[in-house]
C-alpha cells in the first residue's frame, strides 16, 4: 500500500471509525503527547530538569503500538497525530525513524511537513530515497520534499519514482516544480533512451512528467509534449 500525506485521517474521522477501546487508547496517547509538548525545553535549549537524556517520552512508545491498538489501516494517521500533538523535536523524529519499522518510518515521512523542523529533516528524506522500499519512496516525495529538496536532489527523486515504479501522482507539487525544467527533461529523455536501448518499455508516467517540462509557448501555454525515444526498429537478426 502506497500511502500519501493526503490520505491521513483527521482526529474526527478516526473517532468515527474507531471502537470505544481504541478511542480511549488514542485519547490517552494524545494526552501524553500534549503533556510532553507542554514541558518541552525552552528555546534556549535548557533541558527540563526531570528529563533524562536516555529516556524516550511515553508517547513514543505509543507511536510504535498504534497499529496494534487502532488497526493497521489507521496506524499512519494515528502516528501522524501523535507527532503533531507532541510538536515532535528533531531528536524524537530521528529516533522514531531510525529505530522504527518500515511502517513507522513511513508515518514519520508523511508528517514532516506538519512539523516545525525547517530543512533539518532532509537526511531522513535522502535516506528513504536511497531505499528500494516503494512505500518509503512514495512517502519521501511528499510536501516536505517539495518544499526543501534542492533542484538536483528533487529531479533524482522523480527518477527514483520512475525507476521503482512509484506513481508520479505521489510527488507533491509535481506540476509546479517540473514546469519548464529543461534539465529534468534531459534526464528523462536519457532515462527513456536507456530503457529503449535495453528493450524495456518506457513508463507512461515518464511521458506525463516530460510533458510538464515543455517550455511555454508565446501565449504562456505549455508547448506540446516532447516525445520520448521510440523503440528501435527490428533488424533482420531480431
pLDDT at 20 over 70: yes
Please compute the mean of the pLDDT values over residues 35-58 and round it to a whole number.
Answer: 63
* Rg (alpha carbons) of the chain, rounded to whole number: 22
Check if the beta carbon of residue 107 is closer than 8 Å to that of residue 79: yes
pTM of the predicted protein model: 0.84
In this structure, of 4-13, 63-72, 115-124, 206-215, the range with the lowest mean pLDDT score is 4-13
pLDDT at 46 over 60: no
Other residues' Cβ atoms within 10 Å of the Cβ of residue 196: 16
Residue 113's pLDDT is 97
Please compute the mean of the pLDDT values over residues 144-173 and round it to a whole number.
Answer: 97
* d(C-alpha 70, C-alpha 81), whole Å: 13
* d(C-alpha 66, C-alpha 90), whole Å: 20
- pLDDT tens-digit readout, 183-212: 999 999 999 999 999 999 999 999 999 999
Q: Which residue has the cell 515521512?
A: 109
* d(C-alpha 181, C-alpha 209), whole Å: 10
Check if the beta carbon of residue 112 is closer than 8 Å to that of residue 44: no
Q: Three-state SS string across 81-112, please? A: HHHHHCCCCHHHHHHHHHHCCHHHHHHHHHHH
235 pLDDT band (50/70/90 cuts)? very low
pLDDT at 176 over 60: yes
Residue 215's pLDDT is 86
Q: Which residue has the cell 531522513?
A: 124
Residue 51's pLDDT is 47
Residue 48's pLDDT is 46
What is the torsional sign of CA 176, 180, 182, 185? Answer: positive
56 pLDDT band (50/70/90 cuts)? confident
Residue 238's pLDDT is 38
45 pLDDT band (50/70/90 cuts)? very low
Amino acid at each position: 500500500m502506497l500511502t500519501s500525506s493526503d490520505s491521513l485521517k483527521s482526529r474526527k474521522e478516526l473517532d468515527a471509525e474507531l471502537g470505544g477501546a481504541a478511542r480511549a487508547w488514542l485519547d490517552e496517547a494524545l494526552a501524553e503527547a500534549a503533556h510532553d509538548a507542554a514541558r518541552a525545553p525552552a528555546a534556549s535549549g535548557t533541558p527540563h530538569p526531570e528529563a533524562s537524556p536516555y529516556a524516550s517520552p511515553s508517547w513514543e512508545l505509543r507511536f510504535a503500538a498504534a497499529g496494534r491498538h487502532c488497526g493497521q489501516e489507521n496506524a499512519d494517521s494515528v502516528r501522524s497525530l501523535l507527532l503533531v500533538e507532541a510538536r515532535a523535536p528533531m531528536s524524537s523524529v530521528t529516533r522514531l525513524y531510525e529505530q522504527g519499522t518500515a511502517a513507522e518510518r513511513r508515518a514519520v515521512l508523511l508528517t514532516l511537513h506538519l512539523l516545525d523542523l525547517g530543512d533539518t529533516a532532509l537526511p531522513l528524506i535522502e535516506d528513504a530515497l536511497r531505499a528500494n522500499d516503494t512505500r518509503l519512496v512514495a512517502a519521501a516525495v511528499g510536501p516536505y520534499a517539495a518544499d526543501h529538496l534542492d533542484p538536483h536532489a528533487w529531479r533524482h527523486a522523480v527518477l527514483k519514482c520512475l525507476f521503482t515504479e512509484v506513481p508520479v501522482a505521489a510527488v507533491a507539487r509535481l506540476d509546479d516544480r517540473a514546469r519548464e525544467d529543461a534539465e529534468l527533461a534531459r534526464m528523462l529523455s536519457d532515462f527513456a533512451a536507456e530503457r529503449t536501448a535495453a528493450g524495456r518499455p518506457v513508463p507512461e508516467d515518464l511521458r506525463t512528467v516530460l510533458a510538464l517540462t515543455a517550455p511555454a509557448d508565446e501565449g504562456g501555454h505549455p508547448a506540446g509534449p516532447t516525445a520520448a525515444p521510440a523503440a528501435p526498429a527490428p533488424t533482420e537478426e531480431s
